[in-house]
Amino acid sequence: MRASCLRRPSSRARDGHWLLAALLACAFSCSAGNLQVAPIVLEFSENQQANALWLQNTADHPINAQIRIQQWSQATASDQLEPSHALRASPAIVQIPPGQRQLVRIVRPTPLPTAPAQYEQAYRIWVDELPQISENQPAGLQFLLRYSIPAFVLPNGAQPREQIAKAPVDTSALQASWRLSADALILDVRNTGNQRVRLSELGWTADNGAITPLQRGLLGYVLAGQRMQWKLPLAMRLPLPGHLQARLNDAPVAQVLPTATR
């Protein structure tokens, strides 16, 4: 899940427009906010029609939120989002009383497809905290939360990945390559498998065993049957020769990426 903080002016602010104040990549939530969302990833089995998303309000006042869903692809080696009706939120707009939580059902339309897709289908669920509109609201800026939650519909016969013990990943479906520019490493990863792979804690390991961290925490996903590219700034030259390693699907230890220079 990715969460960001949006800063928006109240209705009495001078310019009357919403402003983007900060974008914070958080593993679970923005610490400054009162809206919490769980779980952080949703998975649908091939015959599952609905899933539960819980929104919790830790504030002392009601919170309004909107839930939207978009299809997620990487056809251009980058994240692409498009409107979709393959998943729907019910309800799509909620008000959560102070100290309470609200169930939102993420639903697949009926009847379900008779021929499951060859590859896992990916979506992003957007949960937006809505601005408070009140005469008692002090003039100024409101800090609002936006959550981006991955959701996946599994292909026929696939095993869920979020509810099983984490273990080393079979990397035979990954085809990765990298190249160096003047001040960056450009990493390109293709996933020929039928389920996503999540990369985190990317590092460079020299042949002498020295490890240079390239990305702490989550790097991103490579979706099923697709390709993703990242440009990673380098503060220093990498000691050559060596290889790239990363934690895959939150496995407890890093694994060597099957890469070749180009």
DSSP-assigned states of every residue in 215-240: EEEEEEEE-TT-EEEEEEE-SSPPPS
Strands 259-261, 174-180: pairing is: parallel
- Tell the residue number behind the tokens 């440009």, with chain if given: 231
CA distance 96 to 64: 6
The one-character DSSP state at 173 is G
CA distance 152 to 43: 5
Structure tokens at 259: 């890469």
Which parts of 111-228 fold into alpha helices (H)?
none
**pTM value surpassing 0.75:** yes
For the beta carbon of residue 240, count every other beta carbon within 10 angstroms. 10
Set out the domains of the chain in order of their start, with CATH numbers.
2-153 (2.60.40.10), 171-261 (2.60.40.10)
For the beta carbon of residue 157, count every other beta carbon within 10 angstroms. 8
pLDDT of residue 101: 96
CA distance 129 to 57: 11
For the beta carbon of residue 32, count every other beta carbon within 10 angstroms. 10
Instruction: Pick out the chain residues at pLDDT < 50.
Output: 8-32
Would you say 49 and 23 are in contact if contact means Cβ atoms under 8 Å apart? Answer: no
Structure tokens at 108: 């697949």
pLDDT of residue 262: 52
CA distance 261 to 194: 25
Strands 141-153, 42-44: pairing is: parallel
The one-character DSSP state at 55 is E
Rounded alpha-carbon distances, angstroms, from residue 200 to 102, 253, 258, 261: 31, 11, 15, 21
CA distance 44 to 176: 28
Structure tokens at 188: 């390109």
